[in-house]
Every structure is written in C-alpha cells, then in structure tokens.
Structure 1
Amino acid sequence: MNEEAYQTVLSAHQVPVSQLRTECSPAQFSFETTAELESVPNEMIGQQRAEQAMDFGLSVEQTGYNLFVVGPAGTGRMTYTQHSVNKLAKTRQVPDDWCYVNNFENPDRPLVIALPAGNGLKFQHKMENLLMEIEREIRAAFSNEETEKKKRSIVEQSQNQVEALWKETESFASDLNFKLERTSAGIQSIPLFFDRPMEKQEYEQLSAANKEKVKEREKQLGEKINDTVYQIHKIEEELRKNLEQFNKQTAAFAIEGLFQPLREAYQAYPKVLDYLEAYHHDVVGHFSIFLKDREEENAVVRALTGSKEQQLHRYAVNLFVSHKNRTGAPVIYETNPTYQNLFGKVEYRGALGSWTTDFTFVKPGAIHLANGGYLILQAAELLQQPFAWTLLKRALQTGKIQVENPFEERGAFPTSGLKPEPIPLQIKVIIIGSYYLYDLLSGADEDFHKLFKVKVEFDTAMKRDHGNRMKMAHFIKNYAERKHLLPFHRRAVAKVIDHSSRLADEQGKLTTRFQDITKLLVESSYWAKKEEAAFVDTAHIKKALAEQSHRANHISEQYREMITNGTIMIETDGTRIGQINGLAVMGTRDATFGIPTKITAQTFVGKSGIMNIERETSLSGQIHNKGLMILTGFLSGVFAKNDPIPLSASITFEQTYSRIDGDSASSTELYVLLSSLAEVPIHQGIAVTGSVNQWGEIQPIGGVNEKIEGFYAICKEQGLTGRQGVIIPQQNMSNLMLNDEVIAAVKAGRFHIWAVRHISEGIEILTGESAGADRGEENHFPDGTIFAKVEERFKKMYESVKQAKQ
C-alpha cells in the first residue's frame, strides 16, 4: 500500500474531533449564576425505576414486602432512602408504647403491656404514685387506734384460751399432788409432800410402792402437759393465721379505694386490669414491706432479702418503648447493628458475689424502637455481626421480637433465666447494600426473597437530556446553598455536566454518583473563594479537576517515569515485527489511569497451538484465557478450512509481574500474531485496545478515555511525531470524553484516534499494508496482502511438517 492509499485508510477511520467529546453549551441555561435559579425542593435525579420501587415497597402493607436497596455507593441511595421513609412515616399512625411489668406468679417471665402512644409514661407515673399512696394508706391503717384495738382483742382472746388451758393443767397437777413451774428452760413438774415441794431425801425414804405411784402420777401429768402444749401451739397457730388474715383484710381495705379509679381508667385494656389485680393481690400478701423503716432495717436481713427499695422494685414499671411527643411512625437507622443493638439486652447487677437481674433491666434494641415504623440497616455491617441476620429473619418470620441472650451457651455473659414476654412485630425493614451482597444473599439464603420481596435498584447513569441537565443545575444550586458555597456560573454548570458524562463514560449519559459531583463542587468553590471571585467559573472547575488529578496520580507518574528512563521498555516510534503496544487500565482507591503494555509474539512450526505464557505461569485469569482461545478460533476459521494449522506460538505481556485478566487486549494479541506470521512490521507509535470475536469483529471495552490519555502522556514524554495514536472499537466512540490536552493535540494533527469494526481494518492502520481479508471468487486472498502472507506462511509450515513425517 502506497503512502497516499495509507493516508486514505487513516482518514477513513479517523474519529472526528467533534466526536472526541460532547460539550454542554452554557447558552441553553437562562440564568447567569445559580443564585438566579428558582428554588425547588430536593429531588432524586435519574432514578425513576428506584423511585417507583421505593414507593411501592414502602406503601404495600402485607408481610414479606421488606426492601433491599441495591446500588453502588455515592448514588444517593442512603439519602433518598431516608428522605422517602421519613416523608412517608410522617403520614403514618404513631405506634403503641410498650411497658414491661413484673410477673408476680413467675418473675422470670416479665409481662409486656401495650398502651397508646404517650400513655406509657402516664401509666408509669400512675404506678409510682400508686406505690407511694399504698405505703401511706397501709401505714395509716396499721397505726390506727381501732386497728390496734382489734388486734389486741384477737391476741387477748388467744391468751385467755391459753391461760384457761394452763389453769386446767395446773388443777390436774394439783389433783395428782404435783406443782407446775413454767420457766424459760421449759415446764417442770414437782411432786408435793404435805403441800410443799418434796425434797430428794424425802423421796428416797419413800417405799418402793409409793415411789411407783409418784412415777405413775408424773407420767399422767406429762401426758397432760404435752396435750396442753399441743393445744397451745394450735391456738398460737390460729392466732397467727387470724392476725395475718386481719392484717391482710386491713391492708386490702386500706388500698381498695386506690385501685378502683385505675380499673375504671384502664377498663379497655384487659392486660392492665389483670396486672392491677395481681398487683393488688401481691401488695396485700407483702404488706409488711410497707411497714418497714429504712433506718431500722437489719444489715444481715437487708443483705439476704434486699433493702426496702429493692423489695418495692417489684412494683415498678419498665417503660420499655415510649413514643411520647412523636408525630408519625418511627424511623430508626442503626449504624452498628450488633445483636444487642438490634434486639435489646438484659443487663445485670452484682449482688453478694453473683449477678442478678429483673424485668427493669430489660433494655430495648433498634427493632423495638422502630416497631410500628421503619428500620434502616446497612447490609455489610449487618452481615458482619454474629446472629444478627439469623435472628432478624426469625423475627420477621414469626412476627415477634424476643429479648434473649444468644451467647448463653458460650458462657460469655452471666445468665439468669429471665425470658421477657415477646412483643408483636409490625415493621418495614430497609437494607442498603451492594450488588454483590444482594446476589450473595439471593443465592445462599432461601428465605431472603420471601422476606425481602422488593428490590430497589439505583443506577449509576442517567440520560443526558435537557430535563436532567436542568435538574443537575438545580442540584448544584441547592447543594451550594446548603453547604454555603459560592454560586456557580452557567459556564461552570456546563463544565460540571461535561465532567458528569466523563464519570459516566458515555457521551449521552450523566453519572448518578453525586458524591463525585459534590466533591467537585466543594473544591471548585474553594479555589474560587481563594481568588476572591464572586462565583465559580470554568477556570475554577478545571483547577479543581487538575488538583484532584495531581493528588491522585503519584503511581501513574512513577510508571511514566520508568517508561521514560527505559526501566519499562515501551517504544512509541519506529516499526517492529511481532511487537505491539496494548493498553490497560490500572487503578488505586481514588484514581484510575491508562498504561501501555508491550505485547510480543513468536510463531514457529509445531502442533502446540498458541501458548499463553501468562497462563503457563499462573498469571492469567479465566477471561484472558478465553480471549486467547478465541484467537485460535479465528485463525482456524480463516486459514484452516482444508488443512490443520501446524502452528506453535508464544505470546506474552512483557514486564508484567501481576495477574492479568480481561479480554480487552484480545484484538491486540491477534494483531501481533498476524504481524509475526506475515512478518510485517507494526508501527510502535500506535497503541490498540479492544476485544475480538471468532469472526474478527472488534468488540467494545471499558476505560477508553483513560487508555487514550495514558498512551498520549507516554508519547508526549518520548516526543510526539504526528503519526502516533490509538485504535479503539467503533462502538466506543460514544464513550469518548477526552481531556482538553488530548483534543488539542488531535486538532493539531500531533495525535490521532482511529475507530475500527474488524481486525482487517486495524491491521491496515498498524502496518500500512492491505489486509486482503476477502478471498475473492477464486478462494484466494489477494497477492501481497497480509492475509495472503499469513496463509502462505501456514502453507510453508504445513509442507515442513509433511516433509518431516516423510
């Protein structure tokens, strides 16, 4: 191919300068600066699908319609979710308050009571007042003179019965000639001798018959005494019961009037009435607690039974969840969703060297606070916490919230056997996460789709139409005013929109990663304020972008420096057979950049086919291996219609020592193989990117802007010749959003961008020779073309193999 024909080929595939970037015209905006724009409420931009799904998921009330918000960070998914939920929550009914109270029959199983919002605190205060009034009334009742008189009467009656028994017993003893003495040591029976106590000497002088009579009478008296003592014990027991019954009746009568107003106030709440009944019964049974004086409490008794305050604690009300002063349903965003933060816990206190607890130590979690409303969680944080995901599913499946200690079996915490009554659950859970976590849960957990039936998907890009451009302008205004930034000139707004398309990697799209946009807004306003400008203009946007690039391009500068000083061997001038510059994208956490990579190939007679050196050294990923196999398919399909290809070839990325994956260099590898087979040199000033299929058709790739700008930077370092450039897939033209410097170089003819659809078009640009991909009517490639030379090479290889066999 002569020079003129070669230039025609280059011109035919040259990408026009007008298509290297799309630019937003400031003239389309009627305002001068964003300060003149009419204020409009904040709205989500470019996420219609997500908005519809969010509205549906939040509105449907049936169980299982919880939401999983999926999408990359920076798209506004968190902000929009909170805004949507808070907006809807304001229109919903305020849920009930929840109180835990003592279960007097089984203290290890506290009872829960639901009351209308705001009434939980009132109930707690009423119970506190009730307790104080009970103590006052009981003390008054038991200090009453009439009560003391009745109590003395009961005691005196018993004492009279006892005295009557003793008199009878003493008379019985006297008849037997015995005298009884009641001492602290017990009851003694003394025989009498002429109405006086018999001396021991006198007893010894009695005849044996008389001694036997004394013993017999003493035995009869002993039986009588035992019977009397038994009867007295029965009278004392009866006295104790009568006193206890009297005291309880006194206490019950004293406090009855305190409970009646409460029964009337809570007649619509059966659980409250049941609790009041149990409360009343327990107070009557433990009335003595109210009669204790704090200063008179015995230290030992207090240590064993607890102080008076601790004993009265049984009548407290644990206001577990209160919605006093709330308007609408609760919205809780739990940033640290540990098990206890989500589902609450039972706290403990030390007592006599051990741990104790009761119903007042039951504390709520986020799911209790959000019950009746909305709970927002981050998937990554949720799945990192032990038990959290499993027990969240259980709560949603059972419709109940159980406060329990999942660490009991491990012994990590003291246990008390406390198991509060479960609370009915009515909640909408919204989980926010990445595509990876959504797919992970979808595949690994069969219950996931039963519980999270609504997927709210946030896209990373939106159409670049007039409506979205105006929405972007309003977004810039609102954000600038909210963050106290300078107003933005319409030229700056247009530049921000262009940068948004660059971030979206497509001319007809705008990014929805508003986190990156807000970063640019803040930094450009900073530079404008530093210059004491009245508003942000184009120069400040460019300055901010340049500074961002400078802060993040340390690695790329080091790489280019190694190429410049020859450490990494990259040629951007001259021609070489079997050598080409491929393009790759490297990335750090905050920046991506394109780098050229030398790819070389050697071809020779053999049967091993194409050997991928990276694969042989375990540095090649599966997708890259697939690309190499596609090359074999193309070569076999074009050049091995009748005879097998006796080809051995080695191909490698030179000076790369890390894992290589992806197929964006597959067309580059095919070009270098064709160059080696046809023994036609390739222009080293032309770099290539693009994948290829088995038909030789070029397919689009990602990172096209970074790849072009990265190769341009290397060419600039080594010297622009006017013949350098990059070959890209035709489909990637819509992704071009190149920087000003590259576009200026293209305009000046110092750098070029070519777009191709087929491998035959690219090989002509690279070599300056005709591809000759069409076999013609005689089924032969045109003489002198690259495909003809490759076919001729294959024929020679075949003949060599054939002769070797002979």
Structure 2
Amino acid sequence: MPARELTAAECHKRIEPAELHFQTTEEVEPVSGIAAQERALAALSFGLDIRHSRFHVVVVGPPGSGRTFCARQVARRLAATLPTPDDMLLLPNPRRPSEPTVLTLPAGEGRPFTEAMEELYAKLLEAIHGATEGERWKQARARGQRRVEAEESRLEEELRAQAKGLGLEVVRAGREFQVTPLVDESPPSEAIRQITAAIEAFEERLAEVQDEADSELRATTKQLLHDAVKACFAPVRARFEGREELLSFLGEVETLVARETRLLVDEPDNESPALVRGIVVPTLLTEHKPGSGAPVVEVPYPTLSALFGRSYAPPDTGTPPEPGFAVAGALHLANGGFLILPANALLKNEALYEQLKACLLASKFIVPEHNPTYYRGTSEELMFPPMTLDLKVVLIASPDLYQDLHEADPEFSQLFKVQARFEGTMPLAAALATYPSFLADIVRERKLLPLTADAVAELFFYGGRLAESQRKVTAQLGLLAEVATEASYRAARKGKPVVDGGEICGALGAARRRGEHFRDHVHELLADGTIRIDVTGRRVGQVNAVSVLSDGPVTFGRPCRVTAVVYPGTEGPVNIAREVEMSGPIHAKGVLVLSGFLSLRFAQLRPLSFGASLVFEQTYEAIDGDSASSSELYALVSALSGYALRQDLAVTGSVDQQGGVLPVGGLNEKIEAFYDLCAAKGLTGHQGVLIPATNQHALMLRSDVVEAIERKQFHVHVVSAVEEGIELLTGSPAGIADDTGHYPAGTVFGAIEHRLERFWRAMAETGRAR
C-alpha cells in the first residue's frame, strides 16, 4: 500500500465555539473538582475513608492535573463527617519538671482550662504577696517585734541593776555595751568578769527571743500561705468538679505550689521568683472548635520543625519550662485528621522522610534526634512526650517519583497502600463538560474577565496540543489557568470586557516568545546554512530527520541530517554517536533493530556482508530515543542500494524488526520545525514530512501549517511500513521477494541484494588472497 497524504482537516482537530452552547463563562456553572478523574477520585475517597493504620494514600499525577486540589477537597469533605479531635495540653510534671505530660480534653475545653490556670497563677502571686507582705503578716510581725522589744527592755534593766550592784555602770550604744565604774577607782577584775558574763547572757537570751519571734512569724507566714493557696485552688476545684483527670492534676499542682511557697519562707534569700509560671500553667499544644470535624493540614514546604514542632528547655532542667515552650508541628495539628505533603519536597531531606516513616510505622509521635540545622539556639532535644498518632498522610507525587519510591523503599508500600492516580489526559467528550466549568471556577476565584466561547475553544486546541491527540486533551488544568490569567491581564490592559480567542492566542504566543531564545538561535543557524539541511534535490545515503530539543520547560523540533556510508564487512551498522558515548540506550537499541530488519530481508540465504557507519551530522548534544530509527534505516537502505532520497521530505518514526513503522512523540513540534525551515528557505510545493500512520490522531498543527497544507504548499504523509516510506522517498518500488527469496531487478531491495552479493564476493576474494 503506498503512503497516504493527509488532508488539512486531518492535521488538526478544533472545537467550534458553537459546540460549546454558551457565549461566555458567566453562563457556565462553576465546579470545584475534576469530574474526568473518576478512578482517581474513587481511590482517593476510599484511601481517606478507611480508618486503618498504614492505609496511607499516595496521589500520583503530573503537576497541574488537580491532584493536590482534589486531595484537599476530598479530605475536607470527609473531615467534616469525622469527630473533632480532643484538645491537647502539655502539663507540668512535678516529678520530672523537664518532661511534661499529656492531657487531652474535649474539643473547645483546652483554652478555657488554660485560661483558668492563668487566672489561678495570677491569684496565687497575689495571695503569696498578701501572705508575705499583707496586713495580717505585718500585724504578726509587729506582735513578735513588740515581744522582743519588751523582753529586751526587761533584760536591759536587769543588766543595769546587776552592774550597779558591782559598782559599775552599763551604757548601751546600739549593739555595743560600755562599762564604766561609778567612782574614779578602777573596778575589781572580778566585777568586770561578772558583768562581761552578764552581757553575754543578755545577748544570748535576746537572740533566743528573736529566734522565737522569727519562728513564730515563719509559722504564721506558712499558715497564711497555706490558707491562701487553699483558698485560690478551692474555686478552681469546684469549677471542674467531677473531672477526675483535672482534679488529679490540680491536686498535684497544689501540692507542688505549697512546697514551693514553703521554700519561700524556709529559704528567704533564694533569688528565684515567688512562683515559676510553668509550675501552674499548662501549654496548649493543639485546640479545635467543637463540631468542626477532623483537621486537614497541608504543608507545602515540609521541614523538621514544620512536621515535628519545636520547643526550648529552661536553663535549669529541674525547673518546669514556661507555658508556650512547645509549638506544635503538623503531626500534632493533623492528629485525628489528614496531613497532605508533597513527596518531592519531603524527600529532599532523607532524614526527614525516615523520621516520618518511623512515626507512621509506630503509630505514635517519636521525637527526632537533635539536628542543629533546624534547631539553632534551642535545646538539644525536643521536649515532647510520647503520644499516639491517628492520622492519614496523603503524599503528592509525580509518576516517576512514585515508581522510584516503590522500587527503592520496601517500607513505602507497607505504609502507602492506596494509590490514587491522576491521568495526564482526559477524553475530549469528558473535557467538553470539564473545561468550561473549570474555567468558570478559575474566572470566579481569581476575579478574571469572562472567557468567550471562542476563547475556550482555543484552550481546547491548546489542551489537545499538550496531549498530542485529536481525541484527548490535557488534564493538567493548571496550565489552562495560567493561560487564562495572562490572557485576562492582556485583555484588561486593552480595556476589553471579556477574553476572546485572540487574547488566548496572544497569551500563548507571548509565552512562547519569552522562552524561545534557544529555539530561535537554532532556527537561525538552520536557515542561514550554518547547520546544513537540504530541503530540495536528492542525495544517496542522506535523509532529513527531526528531533526534539528542550530548553527548560520549552520543547521544539530541530531538523537534522542523517547520513550513512556502507562498505564490505561483517559488523553491520555502526552507531557513531554510540561509539563516542553521545547515544542513549534507547537510541542504541533502535540502531540494533535495523540489523534485525536487514537480516530478515537480506540474510536468509547468506550472512550479511557489509559494514556501515551512521551519524547525525552537526549534532553536539546527547541523542536518545528511537524516533529517528526509520530515518537511519532509510539512509542505510539508500547507501546500500544507490537510490537517492528526496531531501524535500523529513522523516520521523521508529521501526520494528518486521519493518513496521511505530508511533513517536513530539510530532507537532517536529513537523512545524521542518515547515519553518522550508518556509525560511522557500516553499516549493513538494516539501513535507513522513510520519507513522498510527500517529495521525496526534496531529494538532499550528494554523499557518494547516493553511499551507490546504494550499498544497506542504504535505504530511503517513506510512505503516518501511517499504511505503522507501517508495515515497526514492520514487521506485521497494520490491517483494519471490519464492526463492530473491528480489526483482529495478527495485530498491533488488539493488541492495545485488550490492551485498558484490560485497560477499569481494570479501571471499580477499579471504582467498590472504
């Protein structure tokens, strides 16, 4: 069957605006969600709904396919039906102050309890101040002081009387005593000894009296403190009557506060504050609004502190930390609900991934080891007590990353048992409902100008190009949203009330221009002949191929010249790019397939007797992929047969060993690149491309290329077998072997058979000569 030329209508597929049944997206009901991803949504709903450990979910899909959006929406919908988790508090631990304990309270009760303890702390400070400096304390101190002063006066009178009897006079100046004789004579030494002993006895007795007064004051102070503390705790106990866990905690705190207040009396010189706040007030780690359902926490940039929280320790590990010493991480906040994480960002830190796995496998919070990268200036250990984890983790991953994780980490499959895969494309029929509704939602959410029907039709065409299909469009709806946003900006700058198809095309064109620096440079080198490509005439052993290059997110076609040289030998085709390590494994495989095809056609009666070198001329980047294997085969067939090949045709497509032409990717970019080169050098009306017949549905060519095809200035031919391409490129029949396995004269294969026969004889004669 000869190669078939496609009509202009077969080279693209467009949705007409009239098929959309609306004027602008204002008439379309917005929808949140992607209806065309039913299988993924069903898997996602199952994975999030099943409440068993290790049934975590990995959402797989390309960026922009709605994977994160849908995971968030489904999680929120299910979360609304689940019970609200308890509030979590970290309580002071009287036995080990640096190791707080966990208290859970029903949702909404954590903050009132914390505030009640804050009020209790304030009242305790006030009570301590009153008990140590208040009126009752002052009265008790005054009573003791009066008793000391009265005893001191009595003792002093007795001392004076005793001194007078000894002929001495005692005068007290502050704390010192001066003894002088009543007469001018020197007093006897015995009198001096006796009065000295009396003074010492006076001082000892006075000290005893002062100690008794101080002891009484301390006892009174302790009693005042005891009564004050008890009075402070009584209303709090009454408020939480019947809550055994709270009353138990209050009992422990009261005991600790009583002990601390006694130290204030027993160690009056202690420089520590009257009462450490951390002894009384707990840390509210998580809180929830009653009836709000389960939490849904999304962490777009996971780090150790973002997932596991952060805390600080007091300088003295024997001192309870201040309230608020710990900040909850995402694992705490999402406990009882759902945690959404991007796998790519998570895996950039292997230690973070391993720590998360350890927590999920154990179903409890495991404190990570100290890492100075994340905890500069904090304690060497996170002060979080053990706590049970009951949450569902949703990992967002690309297909490649999911495959790598599945193969590299056996524990990954044990944890993430549910896969929700979002396809990169959707059927056109489904998109007819999805695209307008999604765009209407984007317009409303981002406050964009409405899109007209022809604007949406242009986005359908853009979606088809991204999917490389006339039957499907891309499911990466985020890419459509980007175009719509830029087009709305352009239209608003011009004062337009709506976004029409022209603005969509303008936005797409502007985006291409911003990223086509490398493409334009390559095209310039091709057009001016620096990179040699013939687009007219015929050449033996030379054919035009088209590859695809990437410059970041931008991909474009690049015509290149493939040449083949043959000679007598036995090594078969030699891939020069492979020999210099510029060829990837898939390309090398494609070259080896050529040997299989040639062996099938020409080595059934005797071994192949040729060697050949194949090369992509003037290519300086690595080559991979098998889309050029058909062009390499055509160059090789031309070199072996001596039949010249048309240079006004470019070829793409891979081949199998039977000679079938197989589909390839990047078809639109390849065709458009060769068209641009031909247009730059001058269209002759004969130029075109050969593509695999199975690739026909992938054609979504630019409008200018379609118009050239319609004017017969450019042509697209589809082939199913190598023989069809050979006949189109050479203008001669390929040839069919007869019953004896030989090909008729006047055919390309007949010429190859004849050439191989000559090579065989030459090699045989060389062998005899040796």
Normalization by structure 2: what TM-score?
Answer: 0.86
Cα contact 1:339–1:385 (8 A) shared by 2: no
Aligned to 1:130: 120
Cα distance in 2 for partners of 1:342, 1:455 equals 23
Deviates more, 1:591-600 or 1:544-553: 544-553
Is 1:775 aligned to 2:737, yes or no? Answer: yes
Residue 29 (structure 1) shift = 2.9
2:653 corresponds, among 690, 709, 717, to 690
Aligned to 1:67: 57
Is 1:18 aligned to 2:9, yes or no? Answer: yes
Cα distance in 1 for partners of 2:115, 2:230 equals 19
Aligned to 1:387: 351
Cα distance in 2 for partners of 1:151, 1:404 equals 54
Q: Secondary structure at the match of 1:543?
A: helix
1:201-250 deviation digits (Å, cap 9, x = unpaired): x99xxxxxxxxxxxxxxxxx9xxx9xxx9xx9999999999987775555
2:248 corresponds, among 274, 280, 300, to 274
Task: Name the CA shift for 1:25/1:536 in 2 (closer, same or farther; >3 Å).
Answer: same
Cα distance in 2 for partners of 1:89, 1:616 equals 59
Task: Name the CA shift for 1:383/1:134 in 2 (closer, same or farther; >3 Å).
Answer: same
Structure 1 residues 596-611: aligned runs within 5 Å: 596-611=559-574
AA partner of residue 255 (structure 1):
V
Cα contact 1:45–1:512 (8 A) shared by 2: no
Residue 493 (structure 1) shift = 2.3
Aligned to 2:304: 339
1:633 corresponds, among 591, 596, 599, to 596
Is 1:87 aligned to 2:77, yes or no? Answer: yes
AA partner of residue 698 (structure 2):
N
Is 1:48 aligned to 2:14, yes or no? Answer: no
Residue 787 (structure 1) shift = 0.9
Structure 1 residues 548-587: aligned runs within 5 Å: 548-587=511-550
Cα distance in 1 for partners of 2:569, 2:447 equals 71
Cα distance in 1 for partners of 2:448, 2:623 equals 44
Q: Secondary structure at the match of 1:610?
A: strand
Residue 411 (structure 1) shift = 10
Q: Secondary structure at the match of 1:287?
A: helix
AA partner of residue 326 (structure 2):
V
Task: Give the fraction of aligned pairs with identical amino acids, expressed as a percent.
Answer: 34
Is 1:329 aligned to 2:319, yes or no? Answer: no
Structure 1 residues 182-261: aligned runs within 5 Å: 248=222, 250-261=224-235
Cα distance in 1 for partners of 2:380, 2:242 equals 34
Residue 686 (structure 1) shift = 0.8
Is 1:441 aligned to 2:395, yes or no? Answer: no
Normalization by structure 1: what TM-score?
Answer: 0.83
Aligned to 1:109: 99
Q: Secondary structure at the match of 2:562?
A: strand
1:128-177 deviation digits (Å, cap 9, x = unpaired): 22223334445556678888999999999999xxxxxxxxxxxxxxxxxx
Task: Name the CA shift for 1:151/1:488 in 2 (closer, same or farther; >3 Å).
Answer: closer
Cα contact 2:30–2:439 (8 A) shared by 1: no
Aligned to 2:459: 496
Deviates more, 1:40-49 or 1:792-801: 40-49
Q: Secondary structure at the match of 1:106?
A: coil
2:506 corresponds, among 540, 543, 547, to 543
Is 1:371 aligned to 2:345, yes or no? Answer: no
Deviates more, 1:719-728 or 1:672-681: 719-728
Aligned to 2:182: none
Is 1:785 aligned to 2:747, yes or no? Answer: yes
Task: Name the CA shift for 1:417/1:498 in 2 (closer, same or farther; >3 Å).
Answer: closer
Task: Name the CA shift for 1:356/1:578 in 2 (closer, same or farther; >3 Å).
Answer: farther
Is 1:284 aligned to 2:284, yes or no? Answer: no
Q: Secondary structure at the match of 1:437?
A: helix
AA partner of residue 121 (structure 2):
L
The number of aligned residues is 753
Cα contact 1:248–1:285 (8 A) shared by 2: no
Cα contact 2:12–2:701 (8 A) shared by 1: yes
Cα distance in 2 for partners of 1:628, 1:106 equals 73
Aligned to 1:463: 427
Residue 530 (structure 1) shift = 5.0
Cα distance in 2 for partners of 1:315, 1:288 equals 16
Cα distance in 1 for partners of 2:540, 2:368 equals 73
AA partner of residue 259 (structure 1):
F
Is 1:794 aligned to 2:756, yes or no? Answer: yes
Cα contact 1:135–1:291 (8 A) shared by 2: no
Q: Secondary structure at the match of 1:394?
A: helix
Unaligned segments of structure 1, at least 5 residues: 1-8, 160-183, 186-195, 204-220
Is 1:314 aligned to 2:304, yes or no? Answer: no
AA partner of residue 498 (structure 2):
F
Cα distance in 1 for partners of 2:370, 2:407 equals 26
Residue 62 (structure 1) shift = 1.2
AA partner of residue 284 (structure 1):
A
Aligned to 2:155: none
Is 1:675 aligned to 2:666, yes or no? Answer: no
Residue 779 (structure 1) shift = 2.5
Cα contact 1:407–1:413 (8 A) shared by 2: no
Cα distance in 2 for partners of 1:538, 1:553 equals 22
Residue 251 (structure 1) shift = 3.4
Aligned to 2:66: 76
Aligned to 1:399: 363
Task: Name the CA shift for 1:82/1:794 in 2 (closer, same or farther; >3 Å).
Answer: same
Cα contact 1:108–1:420 (8 A) shared by 2: no
AA partner of residue 664 (structure 1):
S
Task: Name the CA shift for 1:73/1:633 in 2 (closer, same or farther; >3 Å).
Answer: same
Structure 1 residues 618-629: aligned runs within 5 Å: 618-629=581-592
Aligned to 2:20: 29
Cα distance in 1 for partners of 2:111, 2:290 equals 11
Cα distance in 1 for partners of 2:510, 2:83 equals 51
AA partner of residue 262 (structure 1):
V
Residue 405 (structure 1) shift = 5.0
Residue 410 (structure 1) shift = 12
Aligned to 1:510: 473
Cα distance in 2 for partners of 1:411, 1:335 equals 20
Deviates more, 1:24-33 or 1:701-710: 24-33
Cα contact 1:109–1:418 (8 A) shared by 2: no
Cα contact 2:591–2:629 (8 A) shared by 1: yes
Task: Name the CA shift for 1:411/1:139 in 2 (closer, same or farther; >3 Å).
Answer: closer
Cα distance in 1 for partners of 2:145, 2:752 equals 126
Aligned to 1:211: none
1:572-627 deviation digits (Å, cap 9, x = unpaired): 00000000001101122242211111000000011232211111111111111111
1:559-579 deviation digits (Å, cap 9, x = unpaired): 121122111010000000000
AA partner of residue 64 (structure 1):
R
Cα distance in 2 for partners of 1:135, 1:553 equals 71
AA partner of residue 85 (structure 2):
P
2:387 corresponds, among 408, 423, 434, to 423
Q: Secondary structure at the match of 2:410?
A: coil
Cα contact 2:33–2:69 (8 A) shared by 1: no
Residue 341 (structure 1) shift = 1.8
Aligned to 2:448: 485
Cα distance in 2 for partners of 1:745, 1:311 equals 85
Q: Secondary structure at the match of 1:549?
A: helix
Cα contact 1:404–1:419 (8 A) shared by 2: no
Cα distance in 1 for partners of 2:761, 2:135 equals 132
Aligned to 2:625: 662
Deviates more, 1:19-28 or 1:715-724: 19-28
AA partner of residue 25 (structure 1):
E
AA partner of residue 523 (structure 1):
E
